[in-house]
Amino acid sequence: MQRHILPNHSDMDTKQKQLHLSTSSSNDQSGFRLCYGNQPSTNSDLLIPLQNLQESMPSYDQWQGLMPLAVEPSASVFHNDDYLLAVIASSDLQTDDMSASSYTAYSRIFQLMQKHGYPQLLRTWSYFPNITEGDQIDAYQQFCSGRSQAYQEYAFNSNEPEYPAATVIGHHATGFQLYFIAAKQAGISIQNPRQVNAFNYPASYSKDAPLFARALLHTTATQHVLFISGTASITGHETQHQDQALAQLQECLCNIEQLLITAEQHHFPKTALENMLQLKVYIKHAEDYAELRAALATRLGALEHVQFFHADMCRRDLLVEIEAIAIQPVCTT
């Protein structure tokens, strides 16, 4: 993993910096940028090796309002007064034993949070290959076990830890990439009444439950940030619409719309799907891309805020997964 080196703007007042996400390249260096694709656009980009299905449109996550915090031996770390964002060095994360790698990664997350004083984990993204491969226990189940072990050891001795929003996706390259956002103040877990909480799934899915919230709402003095986890065609705890990519897409959108409704009950401003800051659409079979893109264009109109990636999901029968982010100002009147 290449390090994202930014100038040390020690005179910049980060207190007034808000977290903001742009999905296009920016020359603003007061932030942090991830590049998705086969190779980074510049020597300073951090790379997630997901195939971008929009070949003519480079994909980025440009998190602005963050400054470099410290030189860490195994992470790139950025912050402002409210948020900590860090990427765990992929050289430390192998994929031959995902349980051990997941434990290492999440242990490192909690160590960085404790060291720098951001005790609330809000959002995680994890990408690794061959996510559903394995004889008795697949790589995703191994990942869940390692994550669970780290929570047991590091979740600040809480009997009821607040789980973050999360995405766990399989790419078609090599290596395990992970980044996260933490905060000084806790967020609010947003669950979906159409779905069983992931951490309450039956053991038939995984010996150790997936420890994440369907969404997480975080509010500062100036903004609300809603992180929606990777959301699939699942109701209750069962996959719906097997072998039907278009129907699975519609089920994903229904689940996200329900999360937006639930978030309103926690004072998040009413937000439509077409007004989300970002939607990431992960598609298992690249040949489904044209149909799914057309369906989203019909549903949402303009797709400037939508990114499409060729990727695998945590179950073999899932064909589509969508994550989302919305940021709204806090109303002061």
SS3 sequence, the chain?
A: CCCCCCCCCCCCCHHHCCCEEECCCCCCCCEEEEEECCCCCCCCCEEECCEECCCCCCEEEEEECCEEEEEECCEEEEECCCEEEEEECHHHCCCCCHHHHHHHHHHHHHHHHHHHCCCEEEEEEEEEECCCCCCCCCHHHHHHHHHHHHHHHHCCCCCCCCCCEEEEEEECCCCCEEEEEEECCCCEEECCCCECCHHHCCCCCCCCCCCCECEEEEECCCEEEEEEEEEECEEECEECCCCCHHHHHHHHHHHHHHHHHHHHCCCCCCCCHHHCCEEEEEECCHHHHHHHHHHHHHHHCCCCCEEEEECECCCCCCCEEEEEEEEEECCCC
Placement of tokens 């050289």 in the chain: 91
Residue 314 pLDDT more than 70? yes
Token pair listed for 95: 């994929």
Which stretch of 33-47, 58-72, 230-244 has the lowest confidence by average pLDDT? 33-47
Could you tell me the maximum CA-CA distance found in the chain, to the nearest angstrom? Answer: 58
Pick the more confident residue, 136 or 305: 305
The yes or no reply on domain 14-329 and CATH 3.30.1330.40 is: yes
Question: Among 133, 153, 291, 321, which one carries the catalytic annotation?
Answer: 321
pLDDT for 70 equals 80
**Per-residue model confidence (pLDDT) at position 14:** 37
* Residue 26 confidence class, pLDDT cut points 50, 70, 90: low
Q: What is the pLDDT of residue 1?
A: 34
Q: State how far the Cα of 249 lies from the Cα of 245, in Å rounded to an integer.
A: 6
Q: What pLDDT is attached to residue 19? A: 87
Rounded CA gap, 109 and 114, in Å?
9
Per-residue pLDDT at 11: 36
pLDDT at 284 over 50: yes
Is the pLDDT reported for residue 46 higher than 80?
A: no
- The model's pLDDT over 131-141, given as tens digits with 9 standing for 90+, comes to 999 877 899 99
| Average confidence score pLDDT of the chain | 88
Q: Letter for the amino acid at 190?
A: I
Task: Report yes or no: 32 and 63 within 8 Å, Cβ to Cβ.
Answer: yes
pLDDT on residue 12: 41
Sequence-separated (6 or more) residues with CB below 8 Å from residue 243: 317, 319
The pLDDT assigned to 30 comes to: 61
What per-residue confidence (pLDDT) applies to 42? 52
Give the confidence band of 6 by pLDDT, cuts at 50, 70, 90. very low
Check: CB of residue 193 under 8 Å from CB of residue 259: no
Q: Give the model's pLDDT for residue 277.
A: 93
pLDDT-derived band of residue 265, with 50, 70 and 90 as boundaries?
very high
The percentage of the chain sitting over the pLDDT mark of 70, rounded to a whole number, equals 89
How much is the pLDDT for 29? 53
What are the domain boundaries of the chain?
14-329
Tokens 């038939």 appear where?
204
The Cβ of residue 182 has, within 10 Å, a number of other Cβ atoms equal to 25
The whole-number pLDDT of residue 31 equals 75
pLDDT band of 251, cuts 50, 70, 90: very high
Does the structure show a pLDDT above 60 at 125? yes
Task: For residue 45, name the pLDDT band (cuts at 50, 70, 90).
Answer: low
Percent of residues, the chain, with pLDDT higher than 90: 68
Q: Does 24 score more than 70 pLDDT?
A: no
pLDDT digits (tens, 9 = 90+) for 172-225: 998 999 999 999 999 999 999 999 998 988 888 888 999 999 999 999 999 999
Q: Is 287 a catalytic residue?
A: no
Per-residue pLDDT, 20: 87
| Mean pLDDT in residue range 253-282 | 96
Tally Cβ neighbours within 10 Å of residue 289: 17
